Amino acid sequence: MSRDGDADDKGFEQFERFLEHWSRRDFLKRTGGAAAYMAFLAGGLEFLEACGGGSTQTSQTPKKGGHVIEGNFTDIRTLNSMLSSDTASNQVIGLMFDGLLNYKKNGDLVPALASDLPKTSSDGLTYTFKLRDNLKFSDGHPLTADDVVFTYQLAYDPKYKDVASPRRGDLSKYIASVTAQDPKTVVIQTTQVFAPFLANHALYGILPKHVLGDLDPKAVNTADFNTAPSVTNGAFKFVKWEKGQQVTLARNDNYWNGPAYLDSYVYKVLPDSVAVTNQLKTGEIDIGPVDPGQFDAIKTATNVVTSEFPVPTFTFYAYNLDPAKLGGQLFGDKAVRQALLYALNRQQIVTAIFFGHGSVANSVEPPTSWAYKDKPQVLYSFDKAKAESLLDGAGWAKGADGIRAKGGQKLKFEMITNAGNKQRESMLTVMQQSWKDIGVDATPKLIQFPQLVSQIVSIRTFDVFLVGFNWGADPDVSPLYHSRNAAPGGFNGADFKNDQADTLLDQALNTLDRSKRKDLYGQFQDLMSDQEPSPVILFNSGIYGVNTRVQGTDFGPFNQFAQRPWNAKVWVTDGK
């Protein structure tokens, strides 16, 4: 069911979560949300990763005992790693289930259940994983290669096609076979060389075959295990889930990385970002994401350490380039696209709308990526004169009403974004004013998030849309920019089609060597800085608050919900 070789399967996961965040935020006109994977974002606070520079490690000796309460905005949906399609669920699953590999905070892969990174065959098609010695589930049952094979079968094997796994699309496309060579060796045979394979697909929590193996595929979808997993393999095991309120976990003494210091870990559902700030202050929660608008309120609290770091998230707007649409006629000429970008004072947007928590973007790769190029070929600073001369040069002359026109066609269009996101609403107002200054008539229009998504991925009658996007750890950006993804359902709603871009993206995907890939993505960023089909306005920042009593966390841009190799090493100074 996969349409596209390049895209990350995790689209499912983000999407539902955005809706939840968006829903609450829309209600109180505040923001709150989190994205762990590649997707469009509804809200202003898209990151639940914590302290980037700020790992809370001290020289103190860790103590056993106590608990940590982490706040988030969304309730979980399932605790089955192969059925999960939202970040809240993935976060809690990550506390209870390890996969073969995990991420470091900079996005590099580290072994988890596997004893080392896998051996890749010379043709780049086969990955051989060795499992650690004496792996056990929380019930003492050994964890073997059979469990790994079973977990992946659920999502790729036609035998299990009735299992409603959101991963089936990608896994059934890329995986030829997963086999257990011996109890400690797993071999994954892929169908094609695909550079992001490990980063995207080697982190799924491994499920216990001895619990789920006897169920028929349909029964897996509704198994009790999905809401109350009796057996886990991660730092914690399941205690209870009080819906709409919290999930409680307890230490798993059989964890491969040594038993956790904490007795229990609680995932608590909160109403919104104001509640997070309040409860960080009162100590009702120990860890929580902080909205840029709330930063000053939390900064003064002596019991909370805040830190800020870049996240793989950006806010961008896109022109509709479909020649059959109005946008195609207005924006088909890249001079117009460039001129509009020159006319925006993006530093002012970062300062005034995001309170300085973010940075002006020069590239389509986020700065958290190893493939990021900070100075691509064309750089855009605020330059109104240049914007006007570009438009003049392209034949768009000002009419009597002050609006530019060319061949009877006025430079007049509509910009859409999701209602309820104050930052984006403000950005549209700024864009309207900035563009009016150069004789362009742009009207903001606010629509609901599901409708915005429908516009981007299928309806596509918009002229310009504004939205946020979150990337994974791999620098592949083809979902937004490859012509293949301009098909209905794809993320390339701008209908950007450029042969050179396609070639560079495809080459980069089929190259395993990192330095060669980096070079290809560098060329791609140069090209995009010239083309600007969908200019990135800013790179967002993540801010996280952690109570001073909590030690041993080491958050970073890529240590998000499910990717926390240090789960077992968190401890609390007061032992409570």
Partner 1 sequence: MLAKYLVRRFFASVIVVLGVTLITLLLMDRTRGTYVPGIDLNPNLRPDDIERLRANLGLDRPFYVWYLTWLWNVLHGDFGRSMIDGSPVTSHILDRLPNTLELTGTAILLGVLISIPLGVIGALRRGSKTDHTLTVVSVAGFAVPQFWLGLLLILLFSVTLEQHGLPWLPSSGATSPLGGGDVLDRLEHLVMPATVLSFFYLSLWSRFTRSSMLEVLSQDYIRTARAKGMGERRVVYLHGLRNALIPLITLVGLELPGLVSGGLVVEVVFGWPGIGRLLFERALQYDYSTVMGVTFFATLLVVAGNLLADVLYAILDPRIRYA
Q: Which amino acid is at 242?
A: E
The DSSP letter of residue 163 is S
Binders of partner 1 in range 167-206 (CB under 8 A):
169-170, 173
Coil vs helix vs strand at 460:
coil
Which C-beta is closer to partner 1: that of 222 or that of 503?
A: 222
Binders of partner 1 in range 384-423 (CB under 8 A):
none
244 touching partner 1, by CB under 8 A: yes
Among 264, 329, 511, 548, binds partner 1 (CB under 8 A): 264
Structure tokens at 566: 């240090």
- Smallest gap, in angstroms, from Cβ of residue 166 to partner 1? 7
Coil vs helix vs strand at 1:
coil
Which C-beta is closer to partner 1: that of 434 or that of 534?
A: 534
Helices (H), 113-258: 145-156, 168-174, 197-201, 209-212, 217-221
Nearest of 411, 415, 412 to residue 444 by alpha carbon: 415
Q: Would you say 364 and 498 are in contact if contact means Cβ atoms under 8 Å apart? A: no
Among 115, 141, 210, 284, binds partner 1 (CB under 8 A): 284
The DSSP letter of residue 232 is -
164 touching partner 1, by CB under 8 A: yes
Host H or E run for residue 111:
strand 109-111
Binders of partner 1 in range 463-492 (CB under 8 A):
479, 485, 487-491
Among 107, 166, 545, 557, binds partner 1 (CB under 8 A): 166
Which C-beta is closer to partner 1: that of 261 or that of 491?
A: 491
Count of residues interacting with partner 1 (CB under 8 A)? 73
Pairing of the two strands 246-251 and 409-410: unpaired
Distance CA 398, CA 411 (A): 9
Distance CA 280, CA 71 (A): 9
Q: Which stretch binds partner 1 (CB under 8 A): 107-115, 197-205, 262-270, 386-394?
A: 262-270
Which C-beta is closer to partner 1: that of 263 or that of 392?
A: 263
Distance CA 253, CA 565 (A): 17
- Smallest gap, in angstroms, from Cβ of residue 574 to partner 1? 14
12 touching partner 1, by CB under 8 A: yes
Which C-beta is closer to partner 1: that of 250 or that of 394?
A: 250
Binders of partner 1 in range 498-537 (CB under 8 A):
none
Host H or E run for residue 268:
strand 264-269
Nearest of 291, 317, 349 to residue 417 by alpha carbon: 317
Binders of partner 1 in range 331-370 (CB under 8 A):
none
- Smallest gap, in angstroms, from Cβ of residue 267 to partner 1? 9
Q: Which stretch binds partner 1 (CB under 8 A): 11-19, 252-260, 357-365, 410-418?
A: 11-19
- Smallest gap, in angstroms, from Cβ of residue 453 to partner 1? 5
